[in-house]
Structure 1
């Protein structure tokens, strides 16, 4: 077994053991959502909160300037239960499942596979779109990204750290063959994702029917963030407007889980 495989197995076994802990004093660590979090981070933080509300699991949100560095792998949000830290939407959903809480027990194997395929579409295709807009698009980087990412640091770190982060993300985009894409290419990729999700949702209340699943939480997190976060580049919002059922879905989830 490779070293990566051994590490994955150890992490999986550790989370399985830690899943036996009581669900008490659970915290979600996020960046400052209104001032610091970037498009994709805000979306994932909101998606996790939505998922836990759907699962009726209590938690506290703790906004921290160093949430990225609290995370074991730099991914936010971070769920803390006792001395265990779990970062990222997917691992948090898996951890909750290991505790015996599932939002998909009513689905058939075919439906579950279909749901996971569309979640992968959001998690990979739409995430690359968001990374491109935030870090590759010069105007967005200059007016929004640099200021938000560097907002919690003093000079010169507030300039240096966004520069270093941008270089790392551009390398990631280059490895994924996204670095050379044009804005039209990115808009087309976003349209492909929204069109597929709109078709899956159709006229249903939730993505998979009459009951919410983690797919609804993930989709809501990204759609709500794209609709509400102000960016100089409006391409994503303009593409999303072609699919009114996705707008209606976002309003329904917000009203059901966030309006008191």
Structure 2
């Protein structure tokens, strides 16, 4: 871990500890523009946080901003603002809520918490990387969708230059974990493995950990919904998901419960 990263993580942890007992007053959630700017995995993460806060019955004002990535102390999105403190990313926001004793998994045993962490790892370490690969590495998706969306908030020539620079950055990031040089076939095999694991664990339960929602339900819903509703030049990821009817039905059930009411 780089020294700069550890400093940022320390600042976030300090902010969490300082605001455990503070009032949830005029909380704001900053996201990129969903319609024109957010990439697949960013939309999924932002929707996951919105869902989690609804499940925890914590009101928040969502504000779409073109520079959310730069508002974030770590570059993670979305960003929750409580007073003058900014908390980035799904895990950071979940940690804050848990420390405020408003989390969703306090009823779980330690064994079940470890099981939940394993399901979260499948989403973060496989499914999210699949989404990032499709967005930044798959040539047709990058040229027809990604570069336009990323550059939409900038004027020319930045609208052409910055997407290319971001693609180089993402190639290096995915390359560091041996994902950049995978073929699309290999990536879809990884996606299918993740869906199969999640589908098997869910089974016929209402929610991932049983009859009550937990943090993993918010994260899973965010990614499933984003995959099912985002139009891309290659629909292989969406088609792979649709092979698991219980995941599709689960996504529809959570949407009806927390958004259509």
TM-score normalized by the length of structure 2: 0.96
Q: Which residue of structure 2 aligns with residue 74 of structure 1?
A: 75
CA gap of 1:155–1:19, structure 2 versus 1, over 3 A, is same
* Greater alpha carbon shift after TM alignment, 10-19 vs 131-140: 10-19
Cross-structure match for 2:33 = 32
Displacement of 1:46 in angstroms is 0.1
CA distance in 1, matches of 2:7, 2:74: 17
Q: State how far apart, in whole Å, the 2-side matches of 1:7 and 1:47 are.
A: 23
Secondary structure in 2 matching 1:165: helix
CA shift at 1:9, angstroms? 4.3
**Are residues 187 and 95 of structure 1, via their aligned partners in 2, closer, same or farther at CA, if it must alter by over 3 Å?**
same
Q: Which residue of 1 aligns with 2:55?
A: 54
In the alignment, the residues of structure 2 paired with residue 7 and residue 36 of structure 1 have an alpha-carbon distance, to the nearest angstrom, of 26
For 1:184, the equivalent position in structure 2 comes to 185
- Structure 2: 5+ residue stretches without partners: none
Cα displacement (A) at 1:193: 0.5
For 1:116-158, what per-residue CA distance to the aligned partner results, in whole angstroms no more than 9, with x for missing partners? 1110110111111011000000100011001111111110111
In the alignment, which residue of structure 2 is the partner of 1:90?
91
CA distance in 2, matches of 1:85, 1:124: 25
* Structure-2 separation of matches of 1:115 and 1:227: 23
1:228 matched to which residue of 2? Answer: 229
Aligned structure 1 segments of 4 or more residues deviating by more than 3 angstroms: 2-11
Question: Hey, what does 1:41 align to over in structure 2?
Answer: 42
Deviation at 1:67, TM superposition (A): 0.8
- Work out the CA distance in 2 between the residues paired with 1:236 and 1:115: 24
CA contact (8 A) 2:12 2:87 kept: no
Cα distance in structure 2, aligned partners of 1:171 and 1:182: 16
CA distance in 1, matches of 2:25, 2:117: 29
Shift of 1:175: 0.5
Note the alpha carbon deviations across 1:184-208, whole angstroms, 9 max, x for none.
Answer: 1000000010000001100000000
Q: Structure 1: any 5+ residue segments left out of the alignment?
A: none
Q: Residue deviations 1:155-188, cap 9 Å, x none?
A: 0111111111000000011111011111110000
Question: Does 2:38 match 1:20?
Answer: no
Q: Indicate the residue corresponding to 2:194 in structure 1.
A: 193
When residues 178 and 249 of structure 1 are mapped into structure 2, their CA distance, relative to the original with a 3 A threshold, is: same
The aligned length equals 259
Q: Distance in 2 between matches of 1:176 and 1:111?
A: 28
- 1:20 is displaced (CA, Å) by 2.3
Cα distance in 1 for residues equivalent to 2:116 and 2:76: 23
CA RMSD of the aligned region, Å? 1.3
- C-alpha contact (below 8 Å) 2:48/2:221 kept by paired residues: yes
* Alpha-carbon displacement from aligned partner over 1:205-256 (angstroms, at most 9, x marks no partner): 0000110001000000000000000000111011111100000000000000
